[in-house]
């Protein structure tokens, strides 16, 4: 797999997701120049932490790609919310993802749905511009609409695709060496 987005080590600020308000947070490929466009996601790593007042958690945290209308295009993976601890840690989302190609206007989001709605998980946004400049923006889902912010700071995550396509010549062993006597 090839790593193509990585802001895991960036200085970051916590942002909450819960089913009462912000259901999803992530990143949006805003312009046709975004380096996210044309990529696939096989594995996503996202730092998460349970809000202390929310214990114990129920429900699931889902990582997926949504189009500009907010329609789910692909789920990369699901993590059971009751496995998330009170300390910031990286969680890996791996599953059925890897076939959808990201397009302009797509949202790459982490979502948390649960009942009761007062349970909260912390996700993280970078304190500075780390990845794609003006071409991608931090995003959220609120009031039934996918939106992106004016901020060029990034959502903290690491994304891997299926790897670079190699030409057949790089897959073959080198030719035998001949020595002239």
Residue 161 tokens read as 């695709």
Residue 41 tokens read as 């996601």
Range of the domain at 59: 2-161
Over residues 155-174, the mean pLDDT reads 50
169 domain residue, yes or no: no
Please answer whether residues 12 and 156 qualify as being in contact, where contact means their C-beta atoms are separated by less than 8 angstroms. yes
Number of domains in the chain: 1
91 domain residue, yes or no: yes
CA dist list (Å): 7 to 27, 118, 130, 140, 144: 12, 29, 7, 18, 28
> Which pLDDT score, from 0 to 100, does residue 172 have?
36
181 domain residue, yes or no: no
pLDDT tens sequence across 11-63:
677 777 776 665 788 888 888 888 888 888 888 888 888 876 666 777 888 88
Q: For residue 105, what is the domain's CATH number?
A: 2.60.120
Over residues 100-115, the mean pLDDT reads 85
Rounded CA-CA distance 22/141 in Å is 6
> Which pLDDT score, from 0 to 100, does residue 176 have?
47
170 domain residue, yes or no: no
Residue 78, SS3 per DSSP: strand
83 or 138, greater pLDDT:
83
171 domain residue, yes or no: no
Over residues 83-110, the mean pLDDT reads 86
36 domain residue, yes or no: yes
Over residues 144-159, the mean pLDDT reads 69
pLDDT tens sequence across 171-180:
333 444 455 5
List all residues 6 or more positions away from 123 whose beta carbon is below 8 Å from its beta carbon: 14, 15, 16, 17, 25, 46, 47, 48, 110, 155, 156
Q: How far is CA 31 from the centre of its chain?
A: 18
Residue of 18, 5, 101, 86 whose CA lies nearest to 46: 5
């Amino acid at each position: 797999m090839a790593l193509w987005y990585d802001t895991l080590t960036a200085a970051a600020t916590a942002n909450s997701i819960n089913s009462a308000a912000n259901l999803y947070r992530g990143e949006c490929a805003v312009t046709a120049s975004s380096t996210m466009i044309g990529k696939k996601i096989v594995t996503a790593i996202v730092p998460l932490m349970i809000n202390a007042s929310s214990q114990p958690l129920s429900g699931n945290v889902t990582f997926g790609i949504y189009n500009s209308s907010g329609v789910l295009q692909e789920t990369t993976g699901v993590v059971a919310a009751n496995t998330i601890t009170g300390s910031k840690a990286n969680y890996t989302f791996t599953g059925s993802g890897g076939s959808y190609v990201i397009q302009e206007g797509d949202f790459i989001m982490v979502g948390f749905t649960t009942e009761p709605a007062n349970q909260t998980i912390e996700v993280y946004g970078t304190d500075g511009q780390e990845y794609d400049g003006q071409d991608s923006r931090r995003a959220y889902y609120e009031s039934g609409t996918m939106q992106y912010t004016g901020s060029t700071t990034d959502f903290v995550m690491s994304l891997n695709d299926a790897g670079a396509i190699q030409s057949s010549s790089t897959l073959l062993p080198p030719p035998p060496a001949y020595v002239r006597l």
